[in-house]
Amino acid sequence: MKMTFRWYGKEDPISLEYIRQIPGMEGIVSAIYDVPVGEVRPLEKIKALKQEIEDAGLVLSVIESVPVHEDIKLGKPTRDKYIENYCQTLRHLSQCGIRTVCYNFRPVFDWTRSQLDFKLEDGSTALIYDETDIEKMNPLSGELTLPGWDSSYTKEGLEALFNDYKSVDEAQLWENLTYFVRKVMPVAEEEDILMAIHPDDPPWKIFGLLRIITNKENLERFINIYDSKHNGLTMCSGSLGADKNNDFVDMLKYFGDKERVNFVHARNVKLVGEKSFQEAAHLSEKGSIDMYEVIKALHSFGYEGPIRPDHGRMIWGETGKPGYGLYDRALGAVYLNGLYEAITKANL
């Protein structure tokens, strides 16, 4: 496996120089952040991003993400224009030698948490999801901002989107996803890009909005839409593992054997309720995910793709983007690499 690190470009307070100093670090996961959703990512911007990363002694391993426009998810008549733009972005990425793209198909909101600075027993702070707190929130109030949300929506824009999604049931959302996949994957094959859909985070409905990339059955349904290794998965331990009914290690082995694991997010969560969890240190004993078994599973099917330590705690007084500090994610990267080395040597 190839260790990578999420970096948010020039606006990121963490420098590429510091990331390079993490033992075993090989690549960067980033994106073009200043182009509106639905527009083509310009070739020049991709080249500039890649060059900046390479000048720092690293490689641009994964684009996370190329966002899917809401009109595609809603199945609107304008979707073909946005799908063609998406395909053109893939062609530009291919020209730059980028072979993995992470994306999601979540209506309206990206990953969602109820609090960004929950104090853990060790004094660090972490992102958490508390079902009781979420149920009290009104996303259409115009005042609510949560970690992982797109803050560019206006109150009126959000209301319009919520109204649009009232007419989209689960069958229709699957149909819209199928339409997108069957249009995009032939281009991904031509350009030799491994697409990696990210599970919903958390893997259940949010404010009444549907979530369908949530469990083993639905992941299986997804990969069967288009039979190709290019139509693959981002296996995120924290997202899928937030549901106690998901056996993440079993899922990882199952889809790994099918050659559909194209990217891995390693994050630990501590389950504290039916639909409540706290993000935790990567160490297995700190959360509900056995990270040793996760890395052992990756080793079992010879995974050679990118992996990144996902959200970390904020420790040692570090400030910045919650969940995306340097220190705890660096510790996570070293821990994951240590597990992999130990498992590899034990199997020689």
Could you tell me the residue ranges of all domains in the chain?
2-346
Positive or negative: CA dihedral 210, 211, 212, 214? negative
Note the pLDDT tens digit of each residue in 114-127.
Answer: 999 999 999 999 99
Selected catalytic residue, list 165, 311, 335, 340: 311
Single out the catalytic residue among 243, 265, 328, 335.
265
Q: Which of 207, 232, 209 is nearest to 219 (CA)?
A: 232
The predicted-structure confidence for 149-203, as pLDDT tens digits, reads as follows: 666 677 888 889 999 999 999 999 999 999 999 999 999 999 999 999 999 999 9
Q: Which of 198, 243, 282, 303 is catalytic?
A: 198
Omega before residue 65 within 30° of 0, cis? yes
Q: Which CATH number fits domain 2-346: 3.40.50.1000, 3.30.950.10, 3.40.718.10, 3.20.20.150?
A: 3.20.20.150
Tokens of 311: 């959200």
Helix (H, G, I), strand (E, B) or coil at 26: coil
pLDDT > 70: percent of the chain: 97
CB atoms closer than 10 angstroms to residue 203:
21
Q: What share of the chain is helix, strand, coil (3-state, %, to 5)?
A: 40, 20, 45
Task: Based on the residue annotation, tell me whether 310 is a catalytic residue of this protein.
Answer: yes
Measure the CA–CA gap between 314 and 21, rounded to whole angstroms: 19
How many other C-beta atoms are found inside a 10 Å radius of the C-beta of residue 36?
8
Q: Note if 282 is an active site residue.
A: no
pLDDT band at 148 (very low <50, low <70, confident <90, very high): low
Q: What is the DSSP string of 71-117?
A: HHHHT-TTHHHHHHHHHHHHHHHHHTT--EEEE---SS--S--SEEE
Q: In this predicted model, what pLDDT tens digit does every residue of 193-251 receive, in sequence order?
A: 999 999 999 999 999 999 999 999 999 999 999 999 999 999 999 999 999 999 999 99
pLDDT in tens, 79-103: 999 999 999 999 999 999 999 999 9
pLDDT for residue 151: 61
Q: What is the pLDDT of residue 155?
A: 80
Rounded to two decimals, the pTM is 0.95
Q: So what's the pLDDT on residue 147? A: 64
Written as six digits, the tokens of 91 are 């062609």
Q: What Å distances lie between residue 54 and 4, 89, 257, CA to CA?
A: 14, 21, 32
Considering the candidates 324, 328, 335, 340, report the single residue annotated as catalytic: 324
Tens digits of residue pLDDT in 270-281: 999 999 999 999
Look up 311 and say whether it is catalytic: yes
Among 294, 288, 226, residue whose Cα is nearest residue 256: 294
* Catalytic hit among 71, 130, 200, 310: 310
Asked if 279 and 238 count as a contact pair (C-beta separation under 8 A), the reply is yes
Q: Which of 103, 165, 226, 236 is catalytic?
A: 236
How far is residue 157's CA from residue 226's CA, in Å, rounded to a whole number? Answer: 33
pLDDT tens digits, 305-333: 999 999 999 999 999 899 999 999 999 99
Alpha carbons 195 and 234: distance in angstroms, whole number: 9
